[in-house]
A and B are shown apart, each in its own frame.
Chain A
Amino acid sequence: MNTTGKILTGIWIAGVTVAAFLWLPPAQGFRSPEAARIVVFHVPCAVLTFVAFLVNAVYSWLYLRSRHPLTDAKANAAAELGMLFAVLATVTGSLFAMEQWGSAWNWDPRETSIVMLMLVYAAYFVLRGAVEEKSKRARLSAAYALLAFPAMVFLIWILPRIVESLHPTNTLFSRSGLDPSYRITLWSFFAGLLAVFVWMFRLRLRVELAEARLRQQYHRDAVAEVTLAGETR
């Protein structure tokens, strides 16, 4: 992302944040109408978690087809960002639940599914740590991501049938679900956060490439040293 893009993203997010506190009316019908503003930050984080999970699965699939190391790095970057946004969504959600229902954790279907997503990511990182050879690590973690994906879809689908929900259903896209001012602020924040997501994603790939270049340099130096030692003998 170029400098203009970064500055614009910064201004956009700052603007939406200010609007969320000054322009947005308090949400009536909650125990603490002022605290309910957190929803405009909480929901985008949760949506991005699922976006990241989907991106991870798509790149995993592409990796198995192309076997390109950069595709594996992309899948990994998406998983890392997914973990970050899952933590953010859980923390903002728990803060609000504490205010509204008096307890930070209620085993509500969405709370449970996001924790399960975190477990999948954690298992994914453990697996990556357990395989040393790079191409093998990429292959096995991609296979695992593609196994976990249908299981998570099942889980998100069946959980509401088994446990009761505190979350409202079908509010994000229906006309009647959310006050227009809330809908605008929420999706504006989502747009800003998505830009941050893309930015961090690219940064992560640059780190990966820099690491690869360093490793190459190190190997070249080592080879040069050995040849030099052989010649001077």
Chain B
Amino acid sequence: MNRSSGWVHEAFAVFAKDWLLELRTRVALGAVVLFAVTSVMASGFALAPPSGVPAEVKAALLWVVVFFAAVAGLSRVFVVEEETRTADSLRLAVSPTGVFVGKLLFNTVLMWGLCLVTVPLYLLLLEVPVRSASLFVTVVVLGSTALACATTAVGAIVAKATTRGALFGVLSFPVALPPLLVAIHGTRAAWLSGGAWRVATGDLQVLVGFILVIVPASLLVFEHIWSE
């Protein structure tokens, strides 16, 4: 196997290994999905019609729920390696790029799973009228991907810290804020505007641009975080 395709192979191996372990225990999945469902239920009780809460507020609330659910589970993928003391053997077996891309894929799929459960439930309970379903799905897919990209390297930092506590949420928020704001903006457009695609083109470009910037930046610093 030559070196350039080596890390792709490694990344998929790490991805497959992490999902295998995750499906055995379902810790991250359980934390993320239960957190999301609980907070959607709570919002549903409080804000369902006829409460008269405008759709703008509901768009912001949806992404707040998704972000905090992500905070509950996305650092797990690195923390588990430190807790089970498998980080060293992983360091020996796989290149840093392979590890990072594998973990990033894991977190991205986890975010998609989270949105797959949360978003339909949210739309159902809070009775949001969606004007452009195709745009809404695009914003959710890109937004959740961008959140995973923003927080994966932060998760690696948190896993190395002595006192983890609430560190992941505190460190993630500033990095995840740009995609979060843009996703809220795009969601609002998809729910309310007539020519929604035209209104939200800029938002989609920013989300793609953010992913294209933050992933290489994470890759550059990840080597320094990961290797002792």
Contacts and interface: CB of A to CB of B under 8 A. Distances in A.
A42 B124 CA distance: 49
A133 B161 CA distance: 9
B119 to A, nearest CB: 22
B161 A147 contact: no
A58 interface: no
A151 B150 contact: yes
A143 interface: yes
Contacts of A136: 160
A150 B171 contact: no
A188 B220 CA distance: 39
Given A64-B221, A123-B174, A130 B167 contact: yes
A23 B109 CA distance: 63
B202 A161 contact: yes
Interface in B46-72: none
A132 B185 CA distance: 40
A35 interface: no
Contacts of B175: 147-148, 151
A139 B224 contact: yes
Interface stretch (A152-160, A194-202, A208-216): A152-160
B153 interface: yes
Contacts of B12: none
B154 interface: yes
A127 interface: yes
A154 B178 contact: yes
A120 interface: yes
Nearest to B182: A158
A130 B174 contact: no
Contacts of A144: 154, 157, 171
B185 A162 contact: yes
A205 to B, nearest CB: 23
- Among the interface residues A127, A148, A149, A154, which one has the most CB atoms of the partner chain B within 10 A? A154
Interface in B122-179: 150, 153-154, 157, 160-165, 167, 170-171, 173-178
A51 B214 CA distance: 22
Given A127-B161, A130-B167, A131-B160, A151 B225 contact: no
A151 B171 CA distance: 12
A211 B201 CA distance: 54
A146 B222 CA distance: 11
A142 B221 CA distance: 9
B218 interface: yes
A130 B161 contact: yes
A133 B162 CA distance: 9
B225 A140 contact: yes
Nearest to A133: B162
Contacts of A126: 167, 170-171
A158 B171 contact: no
Nearest to A154: B178
Interface of A: 64, 116, 119-120, 122-123, 126-127, 130-133, 136, 139-140, 142-144, 146-152, 154-155, 158-159, 161-162
14 contacts: A120-B174, A123-B173, A126-B171, A127-B157, A136-B160, A142-B221, A146-B220, A146-B221, A148-B175, A150-B217, A151-B175, A154-B178, A155-B177, A155-B181
